[in-house]
Structure 1
Amino acid sequence: MKVLQHALSQLLGDARLVVTPLPGTDLSLWLIDEQNMDRAFSPEETRRILEQPPYWGFCWASGLALARFVAEQPHWVAGKRVLDFGSGSGVAAIAAAKAGALEVVACDLDPLALHACRANAALNGVKLSYSTDFFAEADRFDLILVADVLYDRANLPLLDHFLSRGHQALVADSRVRDFQHRSYQRLASLQALTLPDLAEPHEFRHVSLYHASRSEHTAFSNAL
């Protein structure tokens, strides 16, 4: 926690990480205190946040929605090997572990995100494994979880790669809610909000959940 709190203090001065219960779940995360977000940021703070955004200090709406989905439908992960891509705070990974996954790997490029995943896993009493490189992982996972990754359209090509490491993928997103991809079918429409609340447009509380299966992808490719 000291590493995370120091990194946050470098960005936002007196901001603190506090244990925050997540609505609609039995989970809690170390998140940026809501009071600190309810103020005007100085130009220097704004610059630092834009250059080094502390994604790991928030529970983004799509991550919360995916965590709830996994908790309510544990058959997606129970007894399976799961990788959470772009894990951030680790909320989806932790939900999968709590729902009975055999193994859960939290994968994120940002070392601070993996620090957050460790702290949050300990807070919730679960064990995770960790990775900084999705493409260095073997093709051994039953399910790839993905939340809040498509906010940057430059990440859309990643959709072609998730099934290279897992037999199935669940992708939750509120930014590009109706993307078209031959391998992915819209599975559900979910509701959630980001914590602490960033007063985002209401549309970002509507989360679309997509599913892809390697077997269906292979059958489609062979039919072409």
Structure 2
Amino acid sequence: MTPEHLNQHLRKTLSRGRVAESAPAGCPNMPLYLFDPSVLEGPLSHDEAQAVVAEPAYWSFCWASGQVLAQWILDHPELVEGKTVLDFGSGSGVVAVASARAGAARSIACDIDPAALDAAAANAKLNGVEVELCDDWANRPKDLDLVTAADVLYDPENRPLLAAFQRAAEQVLLADSRVKDLGNKAYRLQGTVEARTWPDLNEFEEFNKVRIYLAEGGW
């Protein structure tokens, strides 16, 4: 998987879009192919804006929670070392790549967006590691040790995922900047870290405070 392949995906949304290699501030030793903001010289046309809203290329940004979770794993490799780890809603693949770099026996990027899976593969190659790709949660391996997820609770209807993750693996490591109360006491707060989406989207300050949770699973 090459940057040009990712550019082809991006241009379906934004005709002048392209990716560039950069290192998010929240995980500075993790190079990734991400959206190149230098292409936005001048305002978006009406058609461009409509395309971006209709089909956002979420995978081309490294969201605050993804950066924080990736760095947390790199700083605490014992969480993943020798384990089978699946990252749900992997986007750019930053967390799956971090797990592979930290010594996971198997690191799996799971996302329903084919472009996101291509991004995860490209970013794994950029970092000199391998990740497996899973195109649907229903197709996940059944022997998971750890499920990771970052910013997947933006929709209240996603709250049942918290219990689903616990049923699927021995442990769950979750990062979230959107929900202050998960409503599930099994998820224990491990720390809070400040970070910003990369490239910066100038989001509300409240979304730049990322909380890390750990829960036991294996139901």
TM bin, normalised by shorter chain, reads over 0.9
CA distance in 2 between partners of 1:38 and 1:151 (Å): 30
Q: Determine which of 17, 20, 23 is the counterpart of 1:18.
A: 20
Q: Report if the CA contact (8 A) 1:142-1:167 is conserved.
A: yes
Q: Determine which of 179, 182, 188 is the counterpart of 1:185.
A: 188
2:74 counterpart residue number: 71
1:7 counterpart residue number: 9
* Amino acid across the alignment from 1:125: G
The unaligned stretches of length 5 or more in structure 1 are 219-224
CA distance in 1 between partners of 2:78 and 2:123 (Å): 23
1:221 counterpart residue number: none
Cα distance change, pair 139–15 in 1 and its aligned pair in 2 (3 A): same
CA distance in 2 between partners of 1:75 and 1:38 (Å): 44
1:140 counterpart residue number: 143
* Amino acid across the alignment from 1:134: W
Cα distance change, pair 38–140 in 1 and its aligned pair in 2 (3 A): farther
Q: Determine which of 89, 93, 96 is the counterpart of 2:96.
A: 93
| TM-score, length basis structure 2 | 0.93
Q: Report if the CA contact (8 A) 1:171-1:210 is conserved.
A: yes
1:168 counterpart residue number: 171
CA distance in 2 between partners of 1:170 and 1:201 (Å): 24
Identity %, equivalent residues: 41
Cα distance change, pair 38–75 in 1 and its aligned pair in 2 (3 A): farther
Q: Determine which of 197, 202, 209 is the counterpart of 1:199.
A: 202
Q: Secondary structure at the match of 1:161?
A: helix
2:159 counterpart residue number: 156
Task: After TM superposition, give the deviation of residue 37 of structure 1 in Å.
Answer: 5.0
Task: After TM superposition, give the deviation of residue 38 of structure 1 in Å.
Answer: 6.9
Residues 128-187 of structure 1, C-alpha deviations (whole Å, 9 max, x = no match)? 111012122233111101012112222111111012221100110111133221321222
CA distance in 2 between partners of 1:43 and 1:96 (Å): 40
Task: After TM superposition, give the deviation of residue 74 of structure 1 in Å.
Answer: 0.8
CA distance in 1 between partners of 2:34 and 2:217 (Å): 35
Q: Which is helix-richer, 1 or 2?
A: 1
CA distance in 2 between partners of 1:72 and 1:13 (Å): 38
* 202-211 or 135-144, larger mean C-alpha shift: 135-144
* 93-102 or 35-44, larger mean C-alpha shift: 35-44
Q: Report if the CA contact (8 A) 2:165-2:217 is conserved.
A: no
Q: Secondary structure at the match of 1:25?
A: coil
Q: Report how many aligned residue pairs link the two structures.
A: 216
RMSD over equivalenced CA pairs, Å: 1.6
Task: After TM superposition, give the deviation of residue 40 of structure 1 in Å.
Answer: 2.6
The unaligned stretches of length 5 or more in structure 2 are none
* Amino acid across the alignment from 1:111: P
1:222 counterpart residue number: none
Q: Report if the CA contact (8 A) 1:105-1:131 is conserved.
A: yes
Residues 26-66 of structure 1, C-alpha deviations (whole Å, 9 max, x = no match)? 11110011223575322222221122110110000000000
